[in-house]
Amino acid sequence: MQHPQAPNANSPAVKSKNKRGGSKKQVFESYMTSEEVSHGLKRGELIQGQLRINPKKYNEAFIPSPDDTWDIFLDGIVARNRALNGDIVVVQVLPREQWKVNCTSPLNYNTDYEGASEPENQKEHTVLTTQKKAEHTPSYDVDDQCKPISKHQNTTLTDTGTVVYIVEKKHSRAVTGFLKFLPDKRFAMFSPVDHRVPRINVPLDDCPENFSSRHGDYNTTLFICRITDWAGDSYFAEGRLAKTLGQAGEIEPETEGILTEYGIDFSEFSDQVLDCLPKNLPWTIPPEEMRKRRDLRNECIFTVDPATARDLDDALSCKQLPDGNFEVGVHIADVSYFVEQDNILDAVASQRATSVYLVQKVIPMLPRLLCEELCSLNPLTDRLTFSVIWKITPEGKILSEWFGRSVIRSCVKLAYDHAQSMIEAPDKMFAAEELPPVDPVHPIDEIHQAVLNLHSIAKNLRAQRFSGGALRLDQSKLSFMLDKETMMPQGCYVYQYRDSNKLVEEFMLLANIATAHHIYRRFPELALLRRHPPPKAKMVDELQELCDQLGINIDFSSAGALQKSLNNTLGDDEYSSARKEVLTHMCSRPMQMALYFCTGVLKEEQVFKHYALNVPLYTHFTSPIRRYADIIVHRLLASSLNCGPHLGLSTEEVEKQASHCNNKKTVSKRVQELSTELFFGVFVKECGPLDSEAMVMGVLDQSFDVLVLRYGVQKRIYCKSVGGLDSFQHRKVGKKSELTLVWTPEEQEKLPVEQIISVFTLVEVQLKADSVPMKYSAVLKRPDNSRL
């Protein structure tokens, strides 16, 4: 999306006529022309990047340097020049004497990579289990104000710049917020909930009919507003109301606001799209299609998913061979059979790019008929699949491999709990009533034995992966128990990742790695793969220095070395797991995002590598119902096996779709996190205040972050808002920060109580609902003497 051409940003600020015939001084510089930008980028005088605005301090923003090793700082709303969070912008770095000091660039908090906090078999199908991250994806260490310096000052500087051009408006320009009546004005003021977005002038004609006379009735009404313009002579944008959502603080209006703000298409699928699917239901596989496929319907094949899952896109099989080895199969729903390339269904799926998993529901990438019926590997039903079948030793050594289109008939739909029970009770004879309906052709003990064999092989595969240098950074995931009728949270708990999860994950990883090698061999210029760059070196160096100061032995030389370091216990008391989670969070910050890409674009194989998994090639093949990237991979695989239509894809088209999938995946994760925050905010309001121990994760000069142990959530506590605190003092030596809190004595004759706050300090907090709907705060409780 190109911005209209405008005068050079370096030209003197122009004046514009206002409506009364006077003149108004420009607030923002005019944008450069596209030609000036092009020349500036070529000469290295300008820098292009994605804008990140600090959610806790909206006047601070950053874009990465060209080599992504440091950040350029944008000081204040004027420097952003009407760009919004996520926009691709061009920045001109200011003269050195205008740079800032004492401004710490934000540490990225990216854990979107396999081997991190989103295992392959998490599946995100369940609407009752969802992931909880930090309060906002970026984690900012920027309590102190940034200050200008003189050109003679000899100190550490932060490159500082200003936006001169908007290349692409990634932000949807749609925001949720509240209307405020302005007497004697022909417009109302719209205040966005997201403080990174400016206030917006909305014409009174756009407001509810009785807004002027009864504006107090709308104080708690949530609206969606779309920014239509933002003139250079105003701090305020202009916009139009798009929709009245309902009462702030209610789950559905708040959810719709989140979806709209992040540009998630949650509309119903059109009749045109649905016309692409079979009409004769229940659908049966045509005989001519059966003849083209390997018939696996008599094999013992089953699914393992969250109990609430309805879109089952992967199944497993395992049978022992006479020679003592095993035939193991991964069978994935053949979505590409139904989603034909370049029809309207394909166009909608490619645009949505991913299903979006909220706490209470799923926004599907594909119509429910396809997700939950035609493609879902439901038990006791013939279904079309793509299979990878290996001959494998008990130790996990692969002897042979087969890819192909197939037909399966799942004999049972196991939940993770069922598979876990089988693993934990290897000698038990399970009764029929303990499991879901089972195909009588395959007795329960056959299924049980297959699960045990898969578990045994998976343990060996997992051990080999980690001894070979893989990394996994696990972080807490918050799960909710919802009322079936109201869908309100009745309880919550930290999700336990168990052996049954690990079993499925290992074989999904194995299938994805095998598929990556296969399609890259066949299509070296077209393969859609997934790479994970190594962590940012500068941030790793800073973290290494901090760990050294804390006396923690961490080796960042490779993914495997980091994994081994994290496996070393941090003490042998009841808080060792909490300390490990805090350390894992710290190690996640330098990590970069995993990205889809087309092999014909990058060329150099060394950058294809997946850092966390420590494999040269990786892709996504195992979830085509919920990820469009997997559908492209299925088409490549089918074409390579001469069992699919001609691809007709170019390198540029695959790369464009890969980039779109990356963007949609990032947005989807953020929306999922916001949904979790929303529900936990409701839970705190309904069931709080909630007391818990917490462990300090990071210390700034006026605040500190804690991990609330009972719920696995992370919150920031601001010293200035702590009740009963007499004073506080910040001290920093090297990279180690420490706060000394001085508590006012409870009795006059007693001395003040000092409390030292540093990484790993245990504190007591209380989670309490805020006055702002759906928000909650962590309140620091006065320490007892045993904590000091």
Tokens of 367: 């119509």
3-state secondary structure of 164: strand
Given a contact cutoff of 8 angstroms between Cβ atoms, the answer to whether 273 and 367 are in contact is: yes
**Angstrom distances, CA of residue 139 to CA of 106, 363, 641, 680:** 6, 28, 46, 20
Q: How far apart are CA 411 and CA 446, in angstroms?
A: 11
592: nearest Cα among 612, 572, 574: 612
237: nearest Cα among 246, 245, 228: 228
Q: How far apart are CA 544 and CA 547, in angstroms?
A: 5
Tokens 């007499």: give the residue.
Answer: 726
Q: How far apart are CA 232 and CA 62, in angstroms?
A: 21
Given a contact cutoff of 8 angstroms between Cβ atoms, the answer to whether 116 and 588 are in contact is: yes
Please give the angle made by the CA atoms of 47, 49 and 50, to the nearest 5 degrees.
155
Give the dihedral sign, CA 445/446/449/454: negative
Tokens 């009864």: give the residue.
Answer: 214
Count the alpha carbons within 13 Å of 724 in the hemisphere toward its beta carbon.
13
3-state secondary structure of 670: helix
Q: How far apart are CA 626 and CA 455, in angstroms?
A: 26
**Angstrom distances, CA of residue 633 to CA of 115, 515, 640, 657:** 21, 8, 10, 12
Q: How far is CA 536 from the centre of its chain?
A: 19
3-state secondary structure of 404: strand
Neighbour-count burial for 364-390, b at 16+ CB within 10 Å, e otherwise:
bbbbebbbbbbbbbbbeeebbbbbbbb
Q: How far apart are CA 623 and CA 511, in angstroms?
A: 11
3-state secondary structure of 652: helix
* CB-CB neighbours of 301 under 10 Å: 29
**Neighbouring residues of 88: CB distance < 8 A, sequence distance ≥ 6:** 48, 49, 50, 51, 166, 167, 168, 170
Output the known binding site.
305, 314
Given a contact cutoff of 8 angstroms between Cβ atoms, the answer to whether 287 and 295 are in contact is: no
Given a contact cutoff of 8 angstroms between Cβ atoms, the answer to whether 394 and 460 are in contact is: yes
**Angstrom distances, CA of residue 163 to CA of 92, 158, 195, 218, 351:** 6, 16, 19, 36, 29
Output the known binding site for Mg(2+).
305, 314
52: nearest Cα among 102, 105, 125, 11: 105
**Neighbouring residues of 393: CB distance < 8 A, sequence distance ≥ 6:** 325, 326, 399
Q: Which helix (H) or strand (E) holds 664?
A: helix 651-687
Rounded CA Rg of the chain? 28
Strands 398-409 and 382-392: antiparallel
DSSP state of 518: H
